[in-house]
A and B are shown apart, each in its own frame.
Chain A
Amino acid sequence: MSGRLVSRLIIAAAIVVAAVLPIILPSWATLTTLILAKGIVVLGIIILLQAGQVSFGHAMFFGVGAYTIAFWGRYVGPGDLLLFLLLGPLIAMAFGLLIGLFVVRYREIFFGMLNLAFSMVMWSLLEKLYAFTNGADGIRVARPTLAGIAFTPEAFQYVLLYLTLGLVLVVSYGVQRYLDSPLGHMLRAIKGNETRLEYLGVSARKILLIGYVISAFLGGLGGVLVATAQQIATPEFAYWTKSGEFVFIAILGGIANAAGAFAGAAVFETVRFFASAQLANAWQLILGVVLIVIIMFAPNGLIGLRNRRKAQAEVRP
């Protein structure tokens, strides 16, 4: 069996598990939705990592997505999820463009810290503008309709799950296409040799900005989905620990391709879910150990384990 076929089978199996498991175990429906939605955000982190850049503030776009739907509910009225899924990512993209124009001028630690700074400004505004945002209490998000249809809470968690799963497939396909395209390869070329890229007549800043805006879009999309699933948007969505979590998941899963985002999110959320139930406040400890093990023994992440086996198989005569 070829390595490619095995990879596809693993991905197909993962999709089936994500689709079927929550039917058998209803308590997993929302957890699976959260895993998938966060995976979408992590895809955005993976895009930036292709260029060798780590954003420690990407939760701000996650927050923009979440508060788009929260503000809509508070100031406009009931809305439809399809509208939110369009509006949230687009507004996040607009923020991404604006902030991106500044941050793409910097690299590495400066890029990471400048992103952090912007996200802290956003977090502070969400905290302090109490009259508009309810501060740390956040804004409750009412269950939206989907294409005009209202669902019961039980039905809605499955509707949201399958909608999210569908979006994951579309978005992963799109991101993989992007990474294989000229723009995606130029993004990787920024990490490889920015000077040469400029000497090919390409503006590295422009290439990075395109990647940044796409990654903001993904952050916004994840934010809408998570706020809908948890029925609340709080400043925590944009806090730096949330940004760190996304980077953590990306490293855990592996940055070589889109699948890493979801593998990482699945392990992260599952460990957190069970460890926080069984071991109260020790879940960070467990995740910390998991990450240390990953960095030491599988520096290319969970997906890298699979790729390494493939590489070994290819070497064999």
Chain B
Amino acid sequence: MSRVLISARGLKIRFGGVIAADGIDLDVLEGENLAIIGPNGAGKTTFLNMATGYLRPQAGTVSFLGQDITALPPRTITKLGIARAFQIPQLFLDQTVLENMMIAAAAHAGSMSAFRHLLDLPERKEVEDLLDLVGVRAFANRKAFELPEGQRKLVDIALALALKPTVLLMDEPTSGVASGEKLGLMDILTSALARQKVSSVFVEHDMDMVERYAHRVAVWSSGKIQVVGPPAEVLKNTEVREHVIGI
């Protein structure tokens, strides 16, 4: 059986009158791509925020490889091996795409030099390969703010990959990407994840993507997990079809 990487137990959080997590239990297993689906406001992003230390749950624990990470800040959790890509790309807009990526690579390698040129670090080759992989190499020397939204999204994911994480949490990786390019992106992404042995969790609204790329899918509904299982089974579930997919 696969090793459990991230384990959430009894996570609860409430924002005023809204219960965003009401007893979330979930394991993320080694080698899997776990999809999270559910209607808007069901608490999917909140789960990612709690798993990465951005929000502290009011009850419950998150552990990573057996270590309790509930109260740790994002940077510490990141260093342990959980990287995150965002729904709205979070880039350093005034810096070039290559500089963005090299900052990530330097952070991962611990190259905190004050004298070496950022772009002369030995990680440059790897970083350029990563940009090639996600298809934004042509934008390497453009400032991040000049990029169209879809390309920013790719850089956002590439930034997370540059950290060589054990688990990558992605919030709607294909939103903002042109619909004709979604499949291509997910093909590239999932094969890159498999090659680098990175497990992933991704929030997704496109059921086609879930069916194709997820090994398991967890269905969120009003702060609870309704059902978890292989996409083939879960997506046939009548309740899920009615409430989440809307058929």
Q: Do A and B bind each other?
A: yes
Instruction: Give residues 86-141 of B contacting A (CB, 8 Å).
Output: 86, 90-95, 99, 102-104, 106-108, 111-118, 121
Known: A188-B95, A192-B91. A200 touches B114 (CB 8 A): no
Q: Beyond the given A185-B118, A195-B90, A201-B78, could you list 5 further A-B residue pairs with CB under 8 A, ordered by the A residue number?
A: A181-B117, A196-B90, A197-B103, A200-B103, A214-B114
Tell me which of B86, B111, B121, B159 contacts A200 (CB under 8 A).
B159
- The answer to whether B91 and A196 touch across the interface, beta carbons within 8 angstroms, is yes
Q: Does A202 contact B (CB under 8 A)?
A: yes
Task: Evaluate whether A200 and B102 lie within 8 angstroms (CB atoms) in the complex, with A180-B117, A183-B113 already known.
Answer: no
Q: Which residues in A have some Cβ–Cβ distance to B below 8 Å?
A: 177-178, 180-186, 188-189, 191-193, 195-203, 210, 214
B212 in the interface, Cβ–Cβ < 8 Å?
A: no
**Chain A residues whose C-beta falls within 8 Å of the C-beta of B107 in the assembled complex:** 182, 186, 200-202
Task: Answer whether residue B73 sits at the interface, using C-beta atoms and an 8 A cutoff.
Answer: yes
- Docked-complex contact A200 and B163, CB < 8 angstroms: yes
Q: Measured between alpha carbons, how far is A210 from B113 in the docked complex, in Å? A: 11
B162 to A, closest residue via Cβ: A200
Which residue numbers of B lie inside 8 Å of A, CB to CB? Answer: 52, 73-76, 78-79, 83-84, 86, 90-95, 99, 102-104, 106-108, 111-118, 121, 159-160, 163
Question: Chain B's nearest CB lies how many Å from the CB of A202?
Answer: 5
Our pick among A181, A189, A192, A197 for the contact of B114 (Cβ within 8 Å) is: A181
| B112 contacts A182, C-beta separation under 8 Å | yes
Chain A: interface secondary structure?
Answer: helix
Chain B's closest residue to A192 (CB) is B92
Most chain A beta carbons < 10 A, residue from B107, B108, B160:
B107
Alpha-carbon distance between A180 and B83 when the two chains are bound, in angstroms:
26
Chain A residues near B112: list those with CB within 8 A.
182-183
Across the interface, B121 reaches (CB within 8 A) one of A182, A188, A197, A203, namely A182
Q: Assuming A192-B93, A195-B90, is B113 touching A182 (CB within 8 A)?
A: yes
- Least CB separation from A206: chain B residue: B112
Could you tell me the distance between the alpha carbons of A235 and B76 in the complex, rounded to whole angstroms? 43
